Amino acid sequence: MKYFVTLNILKSTTKLGQLLTDIVVKRYDNALILDEEASSIPQFLEEKIKELCAANPRLKPMVVHATGFTADKRMLHRWASAQIFVCTKDGDKAWTDNRPFTIQLTPVSHDRTSSKGNRPGDCGAEEPSLYQSSGSDVSKK
């Protein structure tokens, strides 16, 4: 199963939020990803938060929130949309709506990008095109 990733980027955030947003945009913006990679996004974000906070101790840590996942955030619920976002847990803006981004995962029921010939009208084996000749040749007089 595949998921289409949509990002909603917000400007009211912390320095860590800006750094995370840059990473997420480069990796996931308008991407079509497999179920395994979609399920690993919360862990990916937690690892990046740890790396960035270790590199700069002045950054306020953030917490990953996810809906549409199992309780331990390890697996997506099958055929369900999911949202992932982060927010600060310490400081003035703790636990408020200061998300740097929201990741929306939408399940893709039919992947039309994987092979040619799946869609009506592209001359595939499943459905003949309206513009193919029918075998009879009409000559002009």
Q: pLDDT-derived band of residue 140, with 50, 70 and 90 as boundaries?
A: low
In a domain, 55, yes or no: yes
Domain count, the chain: 1
In a domain, 140, yes or no: no
Query: Given this model, what pLDDT does residue 122 score?
Result: 46
Q: How much is the pTM? A: 0.73
Which has the closest alpha carbon to 38: 87, 86, 4? 4
In a domain, 88, yes or no: yes
In a domain, 138, yes or no: no
Under 8 Å between Cβ of 59 and 15: yes
CB-based burial, 80-102: b 16+ in 10 Å, e otherwise: eebebbbbbeeeebeeeebbbbe
In a domain, 31, yes or no: yes
**Domain hosting residue 86, numbered range:** 2-108
